[in-house]
Structure 1
Amino acid sequence: MSAAAPGATFIVLMLPFLAAVVAPWLTRRLGHNAAWLLALAPLAIFIHFLGFAAEVADGGIVTGGFQWVPSYNVSFSWLIDGLSLTFAILISGIGTLIILYSGGYLKGHAQLGRFFSFMLLFMGAMLGVVISDSFLMLFVYWELTSITSFLLIGFDHTREASRRAAVQALVVTGGGGLALLAGLLVIWNITGVTQLSLLLNYGDELRASPFYLLALFLVLGGAFSKSAQFPLHFWLPNAMEAPTPVSAYLHSATMVKAGVYLLMRLNPVLGETVWWETILPVFGGATLIVGTLLAIRQTDLKLMLAYTTVSSLGLLVMLTGFGSEHAVAAAVLYLVAHSLFKGGLFMVAGLIDHEAGTRDVTRLGGLRKAMPVTFFAAIAAAISMAGLPPFFGFLAKEEIYYALWATDIWSLAFVAVAVIGNGLMFVIGFAVAIKPFLGPAVKTPKAAHEGPVLLWLGPLTLSLAALAAALVSPLTHRFISSPMASAVAGAPEEVTISLIPHMGPALILSIVTVIFGIIAYRMLDRLRAGMASLLAAIGWGPDRGFDQFVSGLVRLSVSLTRILQPGRLDIYMTVTFLMIAAALIGPMAWYGEWPAVPVWPDDVQFHELVVIAIGVIGLLAVLYARDRLIAIVSLGVQGFAVALIFMLFGAPDLSFTQFMVETLAVVILALVMTRLKLHASDHRPTLQKLFDMSVSLACGIGFTLYLIAVTQQPFNTALSEFFAAYSKVVAHGTNVVNVILVDFRGTDTLGEIAVVMVAGLAILALIRIRTPRARVADNDPDGIAVADQTAEAR
């Protein structure tokens, strides 16, 4: 393990965010041609990470970073091994082509600069996910992918469908992110480490922990929601409301593969258990079948490809959890192959829509002569998606069957799932690549012609890359496949599969897949109609269930709000005081820790009795007052009595403060109360009065018992000694009370000042409210009109 120069890698990680800042400004000056300059940012990232390829291929692991929150052992650190390096190369390489493609696809769009900014933010977030070594850094970037995808999916925010899809994606993936955070905290609690590079050494300890299942389920919640595993798959096809560049990037190299990345990263520490090797294959296999069947139903090119992405993610999850070294190799090969052919096919679908005006495959045909470059790129990508030589998809499919084949029932079941899934993906791949281009020409909404270089450069490059990766497979395996498989397996692995076919079960299964695919392709219209009828018969699905869940949540929130926030101040005050009384009296009653009955002291002085008498007289005056002003003034007597007690016990500064606060409170209350329209008499029914009296008594008794209990405890002089020792030395003040308020508790004092300020503003607003004089005169037993007239005279 070696350390990288932190400066260069940190700048690379920040580069997409810096480019996002300048993208709107640059686009306003250069228009869609700004794509050429903005694409330099991901290109620089691509070149930077390619520089690690040789070291990683030789078994090296590169780490770096710096302390973020040292007191909690939290760092901003990165880990570059075969897994993260492959993802980083795919994200930046395909990202370069996507930025160029975006410039051509959204040429002339009023918000093109904003779109570039969102795309670059999305790129930076995904790059951070796969490079992160720190748990917290991983989570921050993980949630940032959800936020930026929300912005991209809802880019056309004037359309309700776009807004709904964006919110749905944010809710599902954001909720999964919270589950992931909890899972990482559980793992941290078990192992005591906060970095992935260190966690890889704690696999046995983590699997042996009684909290293993909790950590596993929480991590799977985050991964399954992000990578659209059944039944959480519904958000991904709906995300097709985003512009096609978003779809191409989302499905090929970014967010949807974040969950797969997480499972691959944690395979060495969470894998090799019955739970791991059961849950992942079962859910992955179900997602594979569901995705391909739903893809057959679609006629929109993007939706057809979107559902096959769901199925491909299921296949990757199934292979990751299968538990063999060849399954890991198959997952690695298929992930790279899928990134190349799916990115290309999505860009082809967008190009067709851009130039022909429709994505409906039933309304397309005969575009081969009008769009020859696009046709070539589509056919090449479809061949790789179908798993045919000489493209990289063929190597992936052969390795899949080699990994899954065995004679036991469990393995045979997943072989059947893989054959059906791959066969149906064969159908969709060629349906997208052949039906729009071959056959009789169909009149399209726009006169189709070949798109500009910004549009066809991406799909053509990715298709040729899939071809080159297969033709030079030894080099591909040395620098990509083998290092990545080693990182996923947690042990050195060597991938050796080549284009030369070898007789055996894998080749036979490939032939079966091709035959099944050809038959299904010729029956595509009937299969589509059959799936449409089946889905209509089923009716309800997870997508509709999401709407029902959100609707039910809103209704529940409204109901609870009506109960908890009815808009009546008297209810709020009653509940508050009930809780105060319960908090004071409840623990004493529950634990039986009542304070001892205080004994009346024998040495009470006459002046002390006078102060107590003043307080009692003030209390009686409040209770029997017939006028609000008299009640307010009488209430102030209690505060003055407390101030006198402070003075008698040698705290003149506190006594002075109490006098000032009490005087100010009396004045403010008098000003407010005389300007509010209040009833002259108490209109509450008798039962309400008794209830309110009981609550008041409970609070009073509770505070009394609490104060008695506190004063009966031994006095701890630690704080007093601390403040006495350090007030002069640290705060340079001789008045300990002032030092405490201004220095040691300065933030608390600032908060208290803020509260007083807000209360003062509210009081000012109440005072400025003017009641019509005629209405006041009719019901003015307390002299409100007189006060108003006096104010006006002043």
Structure 2
Amino acid sequence: MLTAILLGFIFSVFLVFTGKIFRGKPAILAAIIPLSLFVYFSSFINRVASGEVIHESFEWVPSFGVNLGFTLDGLSLLFALMITGIGFLVFVYTSSYLKGHEYLDRFYGYLSMFMAAMLGLVMSDNLISLFIFWELTSISSFFLIGFNNSNAASRRSAITALAITGLGGLSLLAGALILGSVGSTYSIAELISSRDEIVANPNYVLIAIFFFGAAFTKSAQFPFHFWLPGAMKAPTPVSTYLHSATMVKAGVYLLMRFTPVLGSTEFWNSTLIIVGAITMVYAAVHTLFRRDLKGILAYSTISALGILVFLIGQGTEGTLLAAALFIAVHALYKATLFLVTGIIDHQTYSRDVTILRGLRKVMLPVAIAGFLAAISSAGIPPTLGFLGKELTYESTIAVIGIPLLWIILIVVTKILLLYAGFVAGITPFMGALPEKFSETKMPSFLLWVPPLLLAVGGLVFGIFPGLIEPVIKPVVTAMGENAGDAHLQLWHGFNTVLWLSIITIITGTVLFFVLKPSERLGLKAERVEFLSPQSIMERLWRMFYLTSSGWTNFFQNGYLRNYISTIMVFMIGLTGYSLYNTATFSLDLSTLSLITGYEMAIVGMMFFAVLYTVFTKSRLAAVASMGVVGLAICLLFVFYSAPDLAMTQFSIDTLTVILFVLVLYRLPRYLQLSDYKTRIKDGVLALSFGSIITILILEVLATPVDSEISRYYADNSYVLAHGKNVVNVILVDFRGSDTFMEISVLAIAAIGVFALLKLRLKETDQR
């Protein structure tokens, strides 16, 4: 399994060196990677269906309990098959959709990295590795959404998506760390066995909130949903792969994976039901006001994700089975509709559903794919969508204590989704072909075959549900419920569920013929746009930006003396407050050695040099007197047997004096840089800071010292590191990694300074 996950990352790195090969006709060869992975995961279907769970673990950071543990059960297998199967078709589709694009190889690299990250996410059995793969999906999707980086809207959409999902990533990290601490393990399989202790823990609600934050942001739940419609600025293969079949379902996967650990409580179930219900209705209503095909599909995707969260929240065997089936149903028909939309956009250069008509006459296979996907999204027999809708209604009605309101809301949502599916999948192909599209040509078979295969798959699985049952039922088992007696079948007899389906189909179809997408509807929606979560968050962002800008401009005003003064004031305040509350001032002066004459002479020399520095009117004299202070400190180091420190101090002090002289040489000769008030303020600040440091040193001297660490270094420096200078041995051997990193930082800073010194910008490029 580890090899299967790493394959996508390896291919991404491989493209860095051989990318030119995949910019031309050989681009389709990239599809071999997801195809081989799909075949690999398909080989596990029978084993998983029989109840087997495949585990694989590799040590990573065992001291922290972080291992690369992977689990392949019903839940992870369903997602792995979707990721690789739809991924294969998207890879094929991309080879024609972006044919001739100068960065096609880069696109495949991002796509492969995302595929690998998603596989790692759904198969991870360790909370920390799950978080890492979670973040990798956010980063790779950022690159994919912003692929058209010359477009300002694409860049903005990518940043928005990264900001929202990145916030969810932080929430997941916090929840994972607390959950790992409470459960005393980061293994998800082991956490399931500790469920009762976790739920009874006082931190349970906090853990659940953090996991909700991660899932709701990733799966575009209200009020975090607005990043998903914006992400439609990405190329269609991205919209298909990330935002209908895989990435947006990562949040749903997280909820399903942790239902056995955190679920079946009032807080968990109620939160998911309420948030899912609001999301599915809110987004479904929005589809009525959209004209852009991608916009319609985006909001219908958000609504479908709300349905999934709603079903998971109910937490019964039936609703979990309905959720598992609906994941597959939605992936098949929504990926088809997105691919069809991409073909329409690619061939007609338009996604405006109010002007698209009659395209069946020039691209019949595409029209068939769109029609099949539309009827599957509507839940019309004999498609798989009909089974999904029937199971959703049946399981919701069967839940004890579910109010009638929830049943009404799920029916209304399904009606509106039927309308959206018909608008996206049927409207562009109905009627007469407009004159402006008369030159439209049949697309390459590499474009229309993938959506047609997905659409036919939705029909075949609907007629023969036994084909997909071995993949769906183990999902419920993985979530802690028993689905052994459940069977997927097309006909359930005449019952309440069937009548609800008939009402849904008839009402949605009537709505489709009565209500046509128009600019007028869009304008009505724009009038209340100021109340939308996106508008509210944008206003909050602007307030935050203005506040942070004012704060930054106040402190970061370009004057070094202000920066130093600010740092010193805060240090004086914090350190002084701490000393006031904790200092004992119990220093025994008798324990100190007697002050010698040469020490008094050196201190006196330093004192008069400081006074001369402060009051002299000559800059060069001030620099020279500062050099005297530095040399006096060197003498103190020598007297106290620290010649290495003395040499270091001497070198730095000499260099500092030289640099000061060079800088002062360039300044105007008689320029007065500060007035007496500024000097008084600086003097008070310096005296206060010096007093605080003096008190702190005296307090340190009065504190008992544990010399165990000092003895260790003294005893082992020569024996282990073969060095007589303890300080040098500590820096080079015992803390060699720290020293190496410090050297690296200094080297990077030096390279940056050198680059800035050598930078010569054109006048038009200067800011």
TM-score (norm 2): 0.91
Of 168-177 and 413-422, more deviation after overlay is shown by 168-177
Q: CA offset at residue 272 of structure 1? A: 0.7
SS at 1:230 equivalent: coil
Are the aligned partners of 2:240 and 2:339 in contact in 1 as well (CA < 8 Å)? Answer: yes
After TM superposition, the structure 1 stretch with the greater mean CA deviation from structure 2, 480-489 or 17-26, is: 17-26
Summarize the alignment of residues 442-481 of structure 1 with structure 2, pairs less than 5 Å apart. 442-445=434-437, 447-477=439-469, 479-481=470-472
AA paired with 1:107?
Answer: K
Determine which of 689, 707, 718 is the counterpart of 1:717. 707
1:561 pairs with 534, 552, 562, which one?
552
Letter in 1 for 2:103: Q
> Residues 572-591 of structure 1: matches in 2 within 5 Å?
572-591=563-582
Deviation of the 1:84 alpha carbon: 0.4
Identify the match of residue 93 of structure 1 among 71, 85, 96. 85
**Partner Cα separation in structure 2 for residue 21 and residue 754 of structure 1:** 25
1:168 to 160, 165, 170: 160
1:231 to partner: Cα distance:
1.5
Q: CA deviation at 1:562?
A: 0.7
Higher mean displacement: 638-647 or 10-19: 638-647
How far apart are the structure 2 equivalents of 1:672 and 1:527? 68
Instruction: Classify 1:725/1:120 alpha carbon distance in 2 versus 1 (closer, same or farther; 3 Å).
Output: same
- In the alignment, which residue of structure 2 is the partner of 1:731? 721
Deviations 1:158-204 (A, max 9, x none): 22222222222111112111111111112112112112222222221
Measured in 1, the distance between the counterparts of 2:752 and 2:141 equals 42
Match of residue 743 from structure 1: 733
Change (3 A) 1:675 1:433: closer
Instruction: Name the amino acid aligned to 2:410.
Output: A
Change (3 A) 1:553 1:501: same
Contact 1:294 1:307 in 2 (8 A): yes
Pair 1:746–1:46, CA change in 2 (3 A)? closer
Instruction: Give the whole-Å Cα distance in 1 for the aligned partners of 2:755 and 2:247.
Output: 50
The answer to whether the Cα contact below 8 Å between 2:291 and 2:517 also exists between their aligned partners in 1 is no
SS at match of 1:699: helix
1:545-556 correspondence runs (5 A): 545-556=536-547
- Partner residue in 1 for 2:687: 697
Q: TM-score, normalized by length of structure 1?
A: 0.88
Deviates more, 1:753-762 or 1:535-544: 753-762
Please give the alpha-carbon distance, in whole angstroms, between the structure 2 residues aligned to 1:751 and 1:459: 52
Q: How far has the Cα of 1:326 moved from its partner?
A: 0.6
Alignment of 1:773-788 (within 5 A): none
* Contact 1:344-1:377 at 8 Å conserved across structures: yes
Superposed counterparts of 1:393-432, under 5 Å: 393-405=385-397, 410-432=402-424
* Structure 1 stretch displaced more, 150-159 or 634-643: 634-643
Q: CA deviation at 1:95?
A: 0.7
Corresponding residue of 1:179: 171
- Which of 337, 355, 358 is the equivalent residue of 1:363? 355
How far apart are residue 211 of structure 1 and its match?
A: 0.9
Distance 1:131 1:766 in 2: 46
**Cα deviation, residue 53, structure 1:** 1.1
Structure 1 segment 644-655 matched on structure 2, within 5 A: 644-651=635-642, 654=645
Aligned to 1:517: 508
Distance 1:676 1:30, change over 3 A: closer
Q: How does 1:271-282 map to 2 (within 5 A)?
A: 271-282=263-274
Match of residue 505 from structure 1: 496
Between Structure 1 and Structure 2, whose CA radius of gyration is higher? 1
Deviation of residue 602 (structure 1)? 9.7
Whether the 8 Å contact between 2:21 and 2:27 is mirrored in structure 1 is: no
Partner of 2:765: none
Partner SS, residue 582 of structure 1: helix
SS of residue paired to 1:450: coil
Separation in 2, partners of 1:758, 1:33: 41
Assess if the C-alpha contact under 8 Å between 1:398 and 1:507 holds in 2: yes
**Superposed counterparts of 1:31-430, under 5 Å:** 31=23, 33-405=25-397, 410-430=402-422
Q: Using a 3 Å threshold, how does the CA distance of structure 1 residues 652 and 492 change in structure 2: closer, same or farther?
A: same
Deviation at 1:396, TM superposition (A): 0.9
Q: What number of residue pairs does the alignment pair up?
A: 758
Residue 189 and residue 676 in structure 1: after superposition, are their counterparts in 2 closer, same or farther (change >3 A)? same
Q: Secondary structure at the match of 1:463?
A: helix
Residues 116-125 or 742-751, more deviating: 742-751
**One-letter amino acid of the structure 1 residue matched with residue 707 of structure 2:** T
Amino acid at match of 2:700: V
In structure 1, C-alpha distance between the alignment counterparts of 2:582 and 2:396, rounded to whole Å: 62
SS of structure 2 residue aligned to 1:589: helix
State the Cα deviation string for residues 504-547 of structure 1 (Å, max 9, x = none).
22112111211211221222228985675355256432233343
Contact 1:316/1:331 (<8 A) preserved: yes
Q: Say which is worse superposed, 620-629 or 319-328, in terms of deviation.
A: 620-629
Q: Which runs of 5+ in 2 are unaligned?
A: 759-767
Output the CA distance in 2 between the equivalents of 1:573 and 1:625. 22
Relative to structure 1, the CA distance from residue 761 to residue 631 in structure 2 (aligned partners, 3 Å threshold; closer, same or farther) is farther
2:534 pairs with one of 532, 539, 543: 543
Kept in 2: contact 1:27–1:113 (CA 8 A):
yes
Displacement of 1:386: 1.0
- In structure 2, C-alpha distance between the alignment counterparts of 1:531 and 1:665, rounded to whole Å: 67
The Cα shift of 1:668 comes to 4.9
Structure 1, gaps ≥5 residues long: 1-8, 769-794
Instruction: Give the Cα separation in 1 of the matches to 2:715 and 2:419.
Output: 82
- For residue 561 of structure 1, report the CA deviation from its aligned partner: 1.3
Residue 742 to residue 570, structure 1, CA distance change in 2 (3 Å): same
Task: Using the aligned pairs only, state the percent identity.
Answer: 38
Residues 29/609 of structure 1: CA separation in 2 closer, same or farther (3 Å cut): closer
* Change in CA separation of 1:79 and 1:436 when aligned onto 2, cut-off 3 Å: same
1:19-38 to 2 correspondences below 5 Å: 19-23=11-15, 28-29=20-21, 31=23, 33-38=25-30
Match of 1:487 in 2: 478
CA-based RMSD: 3.2
- Of residues 510-519 and 703-712 in structure 1, the stretch that sits farther from structure 2 once superposed is 703-712
Farther-moved stretch of structure 1 (144-153 vs 79-88): 144-153
Q: Work out whether residues 357 and 444 of structure 1, in 8 Å CA contact, stay in contact via their aligned partners in 2.
A: no
Cα separation, 1, equivalents of 2:220 and 2:492? 33
Q: CA deviation at 1:225?
A: 0.9
Please report how far the alpha carbon of residue 492 of structure 1 lies from its aligned counterpart in structure 2 after TM superposition.
Answer: 5.3
- What secondary structure, in the 3-state scheme, does the structure 2 residue paired with 1:319 have? helix
Do 1:588 and 1:594's aligned partners in 2 also have CA atoms closer than 8 Å?
Answer: no
Question: Which residue identity does 2:192 align to in structure 1?
Answer: L
Query: What is the alpha-carbon distance in structure 1 between the residues aligned to residue 345 and residue 330 of structure 2?
Result: 22
Q: Does 1:433 align with 2:420?
A: no
Output the CA distance in 1 between the equivalents of 2:477 and 2:387.
Answer: 18
**Which segment drifts farther, 137-146 or 30-39?**
30-39
1:619 CA displacement: 4.5
The correspondence for 2:561, drawn from 570, 587, 591, is 570
Q: Distance in 2 between matches of 1:538 and 1:461?
A: 39
Deviation by residue 1:714-736 (Cα, 9 ceiling, x = unmatched): 45432332222112101112343
Relative to structure 1, is the Cα distance of residues 642 and 467 closer, same or farther in structure 2, using a 3 angstrom cutoff? same
